[in-house]
């Protein structure tokens, strides 16, 4: 989960908890940072809780994600200088994704390397998701919605539920 949002009553702005990296894997260090354009965070009291355990004050904290399939619940309580209490929370569920590729290019006999894509060839991409439910069961690739992009453009006809592989012209 990339971020959580919260709204302060009486304000129209949206606040968030930023996370770096945005898509952490298992057993990875993550920095969480409160972001606000409405609240003076430097003048506010901030209390963090990670899975119910109190953590240090401040606008940012560092956490380490759990194993694949675990979920970490993080809450930040902000007491503004005016005395208002605002809370934000997010859940972090680490995941992994293997991305494999191959090409239809020629490889000489006895060549030890793999066939690399070249102009005029095609590239086959295969995504292998490792998304684990809290029960420990892996989510099958057929249940995952894939959004394939090329140069920032969505390849709509190649994307969709269970579409874990695509073949495209090489750049």
Q: List strand residue ranges (DSSP E) for 8-92, in order.
A: 14-20, 29-35, 45-50, 53-55, 60-64, 72-79, 85-92
User: Minimum mean pLDDT among 13-27, 107-121, 134-148: which range?
Assistant: 13-27
Greatest distance between any 2 Cα atoms in the chain: 75
Average pLDDT over residues 62-83: 91
* Average pLDDT value over all residues in the chain: 87
Q: Is the pLDDT score of 83 beyond 80?
A: yes
Cβ atoms within 10 Å, residue 42: 9
């Amino acid at each position: 989960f990339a971020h959580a949002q919260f709204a302060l009553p009486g304000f129209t702005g949206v606040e968030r908890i930023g996370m770096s990296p945005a898509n952490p894997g298992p057993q990875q260090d993550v920095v969480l940072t409160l972001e606000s354009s409405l609240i003076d965070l430097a003048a506010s009291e901030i209390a963090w809780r990670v899975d119910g355990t109190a953590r240090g004050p401040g606008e940012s904290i560092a956490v380490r994600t759990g194993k694949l399939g675990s979920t970490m619940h993080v809450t930040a309580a902000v007491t503004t200088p005016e005395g208002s209490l605002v809370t934000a929370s997010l859940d972090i569920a680490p995941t992994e994704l293997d991305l494999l590729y191959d090409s239809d290019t020629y490889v000489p006999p006895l060549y030890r390397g793999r066939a690399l894509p070249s102009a005029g060839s095609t590239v086959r991409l295969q995504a292998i998701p490792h998304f684990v439910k809290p029960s420990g069961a892996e989510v099958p690739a057929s249940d995952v919605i894939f959004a394939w992009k090329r140069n920032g453009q969505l390849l709509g006809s190649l994307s969709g539920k269970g579409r874990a592989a695509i073949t495209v012209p090489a750049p």
